[in-house]
Amino acid sequence: MPETSLSDLLTSVEFLMLGAEEGSFTVRSIPGYERHYVGWSSAGQPSILLGSPPGAFYTPVRLALLEARFGNLHHIHPVGGEEREELLSVITCTSHDSQAQAYFLHVCETILRIVGPNPSLYAIVQVVQRLIELFRHLSRPASRSLNGLLGELFLIAASRDVCASVAAWRSTDMDRFDFSTGNVRLDVKASGERLRVHHLSAEQCQPPVGTVGLLASLFIEGSGAGQSLRELVTTIEAALVGNDCLILKFQETVAGTLGESLPTAMGARFDDRLALASLRFYDLAMVPAIRDGVPPGVSGVHFRSDLSLTEPLSENDMLAMPEMVFQFIPK
């Protein structure tokens, strides 16, 4: 990926498509990816155009915020070049919201690195399908609270091994634990009231046999002088440089969590110093919980657990646990 972002490249492309035929684009070639372009559609929408060799027919996709067409001839107007037709796969952000457009271009930088400079049409379709699924999330309600996500992301950013922590991070909201790796299960609970009273399930407090269950508890409060969600995401993605598939998984999980609130939520700020100072780890087998006496045929038991009288784990306690626990301990 060039040092100049796609967003910056697009600002250098003047929109001159008034009266142009539908399906034409004003574009600029992307440095290092000369067969790929960033530009404006004739409707004034930001687009990524990927050079596509001939291949099988793939059905176009049209969502509320995104359109994708694969391996078609398109009329382009390159900056400083001659108008021409090229065989291209085109992904267009159809939203008029500037924050949604900026997020589209940001995620497309990951897509571009994954497909590389000379992809097959099949490779393009496979990666763009993941982009399509990501943008489907953006038309749905949030599946978790912003505070909950901030807690999980803060733990990832503070961890000693960011790559391993993201690899262990949940893929869906159906996962029982926020992080699962080897014989370690970890759940993160963020409180906005400076009280260590968290919602847990009976199943979480009885991790599978042969595993260690941990609870990370921290305080997340809004603060105008604190770190923003966008800055936190940028920090984590910087730590993942060179592992684009992991970056895309990270972006998919964030989008799946925040849904339609993502573009506006990126500006939310929280007190990152309070979060770090308040971070404590607990053994899930020791926290107050309902473990016995659940009648046969009853499941999904949830309750509030007050940890104020429960002793947190020390760093030495955690270092004596399975080696994979070490990756979650703050630097």
% residues pLDDT > 70 (the chain): 97
Span 5-11, average pLDDT: 94
Structure confidence at residue 251 as a pLDDT band (50, 70, 90):
very high
Those residues whose C-beta lies under 8 Å from the C-beta of residue 54, and which sit 6 or more positions away, are: 71, 87, 121
- In this model, does residue 223 exceed pLDDT 90? yes
Span 240-247, average pLDDT: 96
Span 24-39, average pLDDT: 94
147: DSSP letter: H
- In this model, does residue 1 exceed pLDDT 80? no
pLDDT digits (tens, 9 = 90+) for 170-179: 988 788 999 9
For residue 20, the model assigns a pLDDT of 58
Structure confidence at residue 16 as a pLDDT band (50, 70, 90):
low
How many Cβ atoms from other residues are within 10 Å of residue 97's Cβ?
A: 13
More confident residue, 292 or 120: 120
Structure confidence at residue 300 as a pLDDT band (50, 70, 90):
confident
50: DSSP letter: E
pLDDT, averaged across the chain: 93
- In this model, does residue 13 exceed pLDDT 60? yes
Number of H helices and E strands in the chain, helices first, is 10, 14
Structure tokens at 312: 């947190």
- In this model, does residue 247 exceed pLDDT 80? yes
For residue 23, the model assigns a pLDDT of 75
Structure confidence at residue 268 as a pLDDT band (50, 70, 90):
very high
Span 99-118, average pLDDT: 95
- In this model, does residue 3 exceed pLDDT 90? no
Q: Which of 90, 98, 294, 325 is nearest to 212 (CA)?
A: 325
Element (H, E) at 26: strand 24-30
- In this model, does residue 295 exceed pLDDT 90? no
Question: Which three-class secondary structure state does DSSP give residue 16?
Answer: coil
For residue 17, the model assigns a pLDDT of 54
Contact 278, 219 (CB under 8 A): yes
Span 298-310, average pLDDT: 93
- In this model, does residue 148 exceed pLDDT 90? yes
Could you list the beta-strand ranges (E) of 42-195. 46-51, 61-62, 66-78, 84-93, 179-181, 184-191
B/e letters for 193-211, b = 16+ CB within 10 Å, e = fewer, are: eeebebebbbebbbbeeee
% residues pLDDT > 90 (the chain): 81
Report how far residue 278's alpha carbon sits from residue 87's, in angstroms, rounded to the nearest whole number: 55
Which stretch, 20-34, 212-226, 317-331, has highest mean pLDDT? 212-226
Span 30-43, average pLDDT: 94
For residue 248, the model assigns a pLDDT of 96
Task: Look at the block and give the residue holding tokens 């035929």.
Answer: 21
Span 256-270, average pLDDT: 94
